[in-house]
Amino acid sequence: MKLLVSVVDADETIDALKGGADIIDVKNPREGSLGANFPWIINEIKQALPDDIEMSCALGDVPYLPGTVSLAALGCASLGPDYIKVGLYGTKNQGEASEVMRAVVRSVGNFNDEISIIASGYADFRRVGSLDPMLLPEVASESGCEGILVDTGIKDGKRLFDFMSLEKIRDFTECGHGFGLLVALAGSLKSEDILLLREMKPDVIGVRGAACEHHDRKGRISLERVTELKKIFR
């Protein structure tokens, strides 16, 4: 199980690395749950990473516009991430989600087929008006993605467990693994949440707020907080 820490700039990246993050995830919280950061910031972060540390990039809480999203994904791919996370915010059903993800997989795969594409959904999908995340394993499998992620779309203090029971999270994880997919879990998680989720055996657990000063996702990444979180993984 790997610890993914979401950062907004190169300075935060250094503290996340010192604390033991396995994957550096680049996002822009000002633009949403899976908000995309600027190319020049992603490039600065990439240059700061050791060769053995993976980089993930959030493509955004994307609309149901397959052409637009696939073109954005190609731009992201040019910056050299190991993973591209696509937040299926504007897709209402499995057909729309699969159409978007097939376009992304094709555009990125033609450029660099070693980049893993992660189909991402929202535990609070009813509030968002998006795809039920329990459909993500099928969407990812039929579109050629390498993994799935469930997060929360609206960041108002509610967490993954406010929308998905332990049983449902286990089903999500096992179903993803059944399709041979990487499974990542996130959603305003706290330290005690990670202890519970560890039993589900996901491949990746992602955090931002839990790794920030005062547990505030709008604050700065704290070396001490990342170090404490990494201890749970060990």
Clarify whether 201 is annotated catalytic: no
Residue 207, classed as helix, strand or coil, is: strand
Compute the C-alpha angle 31/80/187, nearest 5°: 40
The one-letter amino acid at 37: N
Clarify whether 27 is annotated catalytic: yes
Closest CA to 46 of 28, 25, 15: 25
> Rounded to whole angstroms, how far apart are CA atoms 188 and 175?
23
159 contacts 188 by C-beta, under 8 angstroms: yes
List Cα–Cα distances, 100 to 56, 71, 78, 119, 133, in angstroms. Answer: 19, 11, 19, 10, 15
Terminal CA-CA length for the chain: 9
Q: Which of 2, 27, 92, 201 is catalytic?
A: 27
Q: Which of 2, 85, 155, 230 is catalytic?
A: 85
DSSP state of 79: T
Residues counted in the chain: 234
Q: Show which residues are catalytic.
A: 27, 85
